[in-house]
Amino acid sequence: MKAGAGTKAGKEKKAAIMAAAERLFAERGVAATSTRDIARELGIGDASLYRHFPSKEVLVAELFADGYREYGRLLRAAADGKRGGRARLSAMVREVCRLADEDAARFTFLLLAQHGGLPTVEVGTDSPVDAVRACLAEALPEADAELAAAVAIGVVLQAATFRAYGRIARPMSELAPTLADAAWAAACACVARTPE
């Protein structure tokens, strides 16, 4: 049997490693999580990781790139059926809040954690950030798209950060309508500004 790279069992193991790593990275940060920590979490030897990933750096990068792309896809999908910038942004915000609630580890790792500059990762225009930017660029053509995206995203992420620090108790999904309004309002404020 000359199976290329990755038996079924192998792929499952790889997925298990990624899941465990993601959880630990979200909890403690990438730098504070050792490869041994990840292995111990899975009950395997530390050297076994290296059958599935050539290095910790690649593991982090792959994890990040995969998740980031997936998030971008989900946001675009959420906005897909909606008409009007406000409704589309609203759908995206709702989706983000759902993701934050349903898989907190992944959300934290992807959007709140610091990965040390991520010099390796290049996601192109698949990212959730770009999904928001594209939405707002279309809806508010007179606004600085980058800035509008920044403020809209900031609204949601900072709420999530407050939640992570325990300053906010309610689940994100409950906050979604309010955050959607706030994000839209903030984005709108980026229009019709005569540069002083």
When asked if residue 183 is in the footprint of a second copy (CB under 8 A), the reply is yes
Q: Does 110 bind a second copy (CB under 8 A)?
A: no
Binding residues with a second copy: total (CB under 8 A): 42
Stretch that binds DNA, among 53-61, 84-92, 139-147, 186-194 (CB under 7 A): 53-61
Minimum Å gap between C-beta 30 and a second copy is 9
Which residues lie below 8 Å from residue 59, measured CB to CB, with a gap of 6+? Answer: 17, 18, 21, 49, 53
Contact of 164 with 105, CB cutoff 8 Å: no
Residues 6+ apart with CB under 8 A from 49: 17, 35, 38, 39, 59
Contact partner, 125, from a second copy, DNA, none, Cβ < 5-8 Å per class: none
d(CA 42, CA 5): 21
Q: For residues 1 and 80, which CB has a smaller minimum distance to a second copy in the complex?
A: 1
Residue 108 has what DSSP assignment?
A: I
For residue 99, with 0-12 CB atoms within 10 Å meaning exposed, 13-18 middle and 19 or more buried, which class applies? buried
Q: Is the CB of 49 or the CB of 75 nearer to DNA?
A: 49
Is 14 in contact with 62 (CB distance < 8 Å)?
A: no
Nearer of residues 59 and 111 to a second copy, judged by Cβ? 111
For tokens 């499952």, the residue is 12
* CB of residue 116 to a second copy, shortest distance in Å: 6
Nearer to a second copy, 138 or 174 (CB): 174
Q: Under a CB-based contact definition with an 8 Å cutoff, are residues 19 and 66 in contact?
A: no
Distance of alpha carbon 165 from alpha carbon 42, whole angstroms:
27
Minimum CB distance to a second copy smaller for 28 or for 77 = 28
Q: Does 162 engage in binding with a second copy (CB under 8 A)?
A: yes
- Interacting residues toward DNA by CB under 7 A: 1-7, 9-11, 13, 33-37, 43-52, 54-57
Q: Which residues bind a second copy (CB under 8 A)?
A: 28-29, 31-32, 113-114, 116-117, 146-147, 149-151, 153-159, 161-162, 167-168, 174-175, 177-179, 181-190, 193, 195-196
